[in-house]
Structure 1
Amino acid sequence: MRTVRQTWFSAGGAVALTLGLAASASVQGQPDGQGADRGRGSPATARNVVLVVGDGLGIAAREAIRLATVGQDGQLAMDGLRYAGWTRTDSADPEEAVTDSAASATAFATGVRTYNGAVSVDVDGRPVATLLEHAQRLRKATGLVTTAQVTDATPAAFGAHVPDRGDQSEIARQYVEVTRPDVILGGGEDWWYPAGDEGAHPDDPDDPRPEVSRSTAGDLVARAQAVGYDYVTNAEELAASRSGRVLGLFANEEMFEQAPEGQGDEYAPTVPLATMTAKALDVLSRDRQGFFLLVEEEGVDEMAHANNAARAIQAGQALDETVALVREFAERNPGTLVVVVGDHETGGLAVENVDTADESGDTASTEPAVTQSLEDGPFPIAGSDLQFTVDWTTGSHTGGATPLTAEGPGADRLARSQHSTDVFDVIREAMRGRR
Structure 2
Amino acid sequence: MRFSRALTAFFCLVLSVFLSVVVGACSGQPEETSRPKNVILLIADGCGPASFTLARTYRRDVLGQAGGLAVDPHLVGTVQTHATDSRVTDSAAGATAYACGVKTYNGAIAVDTLRRPVATVLEAAEARGMATGLVATSTLTHATPAAFSAHVPNRGMAAEIAAQQITKGIEVLFGGGRADFLPESAGGRRTDGRNLLEEARAAGYHVALTRAAFDSVTAPPVLGLFAGSHLDYELDRDPAEQPSLAEMTRKALDLLRNDPDGFFLMVEGSRIDHAGHANDAAAHLHDILAFDEAVAVALDFARQEGETLVVVTSDHETGGLTLGRNLDGRGVYAWYPGVLAPVRHSNDALARMLREGADPETVLREAGLDPATLDPADRRALLEAAEDGDARTFLSHYNDLIARRAVIAWTTGGHTGVDVNLYAFGPGHTRFFGNHDNAAVGRQIAGLLGLDLPALTEKLQAQSGAE
- Supply the AA of the counterpart residue of 1:90: H
Q: 2:319 aligns with which of 335, 343, 347?
A: 347
TM, length-normalised to structure 2: 0.74
CA spacing shift, 1:418–1:372, aligned 2, 3 Å: farther
Q: Does 1:415 align with 2:433?
A: yes
- What is residue 141 of structure 2 aligned with on the other side? 151
Q: Kindly indicate whether the alpha-carbon contact (under 8 Å) linking 2:29 and 2:426 is maintained by their aligned counterparts in 1.
A: no
- What is residue 266 of structure 1 aligned with on the other side? 236
- What is residue 459 of structure 2 aligned with on the other side? none
What 5-or-longer segments of structure 2 have no aligned partner? 1-13, 333-376, 383-391, 453-467
- What is residue 115 of structure 2 aligned with on the other side? 125
- What is residue 86 of structure 1 aligned with on the other side? 78
Q: 1:176 aligns with which of 166, 174, 181?
A: 166
1:39 and 1:61 mapped to 2: Cα distance? 25
Deviation string 1:39-80 (CA, Å, 9 cap, x unpaired) is 846641111100000000100011101111134963100112
Q: Kindly indicate whether the alpha-carbon contact (under 8 Å) linking 1:170 and 1:217 is maintained by their aligned counterparts in 2.
A: no
Report the 3-state secondary structure (helix = DSSP H, G, I; strand = E; otherwise coil) of the residue aligned with 2:407.
strand
Q: Kindly indicate whether the alpha-carbon contact (under 8 Å) linking 1:375 and 1:390 is maintained by their aligned counterparts in 2.
A: no
- Supply the AA of the counterpart residue of 1:108: Y
Q: CA deviation at 1:235?
A: 2.0
Deviation string 1:265-310 (CA, Å, 9 cap, x unpaired) is 8355711111111110000102011100000011110011110000
Report the 3-state secondary structure (helix = DSSP H, G, I; strand = E; otherwise coil) of the residue aligned with 1:196.
helix
Q: Kindly indicate whether the alpha-carbon contact (under 8 Å) linking 1:45 and 1:433 is maintained by their aligned counterparts in 2.
A: no
Q: CA deviation at 1:128?
A: 0.4
- What is residue 319 of structure 1 aligned with on the other side? 291
Q: CA deviation at 1:412?
A: 0.8
Q: Kindly indicate whether the alpha-carbon contact (under 8 Å) linking 2:30 and 2:427 is maintained by their aligned counterparts in 1.
A: no
Q: 1:64 aligns with which of 36, 46, 54?
A: 54
1:65 and 1:46 mapped to 2: Cα distance? 30
- What is residue 376 of structure 1 aligned with on the other side? 402
Q: CA deviation at 1:29?
A: 2.7
- What is residue 406 of structure 1 aligned with on the other side? 424
Q: Kindly indicate whether the alpha-carbon contact (under 8 Å) linking 2:125 and 2:451 is maintained by their aligned counterparts in 1.
A: no
Q: Does 1:287 align with 2:259?
A: yes
2:31 and 2:93 mapped to 1: Cα distance? 37
Q: Does 1:29 align with 2:16?
A: yes
Q: Kindly indicate whether the alpha-carbon contact (under 8 Å) linking 1:267 and 1:314 is maintained by their aligned counterparts in 2.
A: no
1:372 and 1:47 mapped to 2: Cα distance? 48
Q: CA deviation at 1:123?
A: 0.6
Report the 3-state secondary structure (helix = DSSP H, G, I; strand = E; otherwise coil) of the residue aligned with 2:224.
strand
1:253 and 1:110 mapped to 2: Cα distance? 26
Q: Kindly indicate whether the alpha-carbon contact (under 8 Å) linking 1:119 and 1:163 is maintained by their aligned counterparts in 2.
A: yes
Q: 1:253 aligns with which of 212, 215, 229?
A: 229
Q: 1:112 aligns with which of 92, 102, 114?
A: 102
Q: Does 1:161 align with 2:133?
A: no
TM, length-normalised to structure 1: 0.79
- What is residue 177 of structure 2 aligned with on the other side? 188
Q: 2:202 aligns with which of 226, 244, 250?
A: 226
Q: What is the 5 A alignment of 1:353-372?
A: 358=330, 368=393, 371=397
Q: CA deviation at 1:28?
A: 7.7
Deviation string 1:357-392 (CA, Å, 9 cap, x unpaired) is 6599xx97887385366263578xxxxxxxx53210
- What is residue 20 of structure 1 aligned with on the other side? none
- Supply the AA of the counterpart residue of 2:71: M
- What is residue 361 of structure 2 aligned with on the other side? none
Q: Kindly indicate whether the alpha-carbon contact (under 8 Å) linking 2:42 and 2:295 is maintained by their aligned counterparts in 1.
A: yes
Report the 3-state secondary structure (helix = DSSP H, G, I; strand = E; otherwise coil) of the residue aligned with 1:70.
helix
- What is residue 280 of structure 2 aligned with on the other side? 308
Q: Which has the larger radius of gyration?
A: 2
What 5-or-longer segments of structure 1 have no aligned partner? 1-26, 199-211, 259-264, 380-387
Q: Kindly indicate whether the alpha-carbon contact (under 8 Å) linking 1:273 and 1:319 is maintained by their aligned counterparts in 2.
A: yes
CA spacing shift, 1:124–1:268, aligned 2, 3 Å: farther
1:353 and 1:62 mapped to 2: Cα distance? 18
Deviation string 1:90-138 (CA, Å, 9 cap, x unpaired) is 0012xx4311100000011111111111100001100001110121233
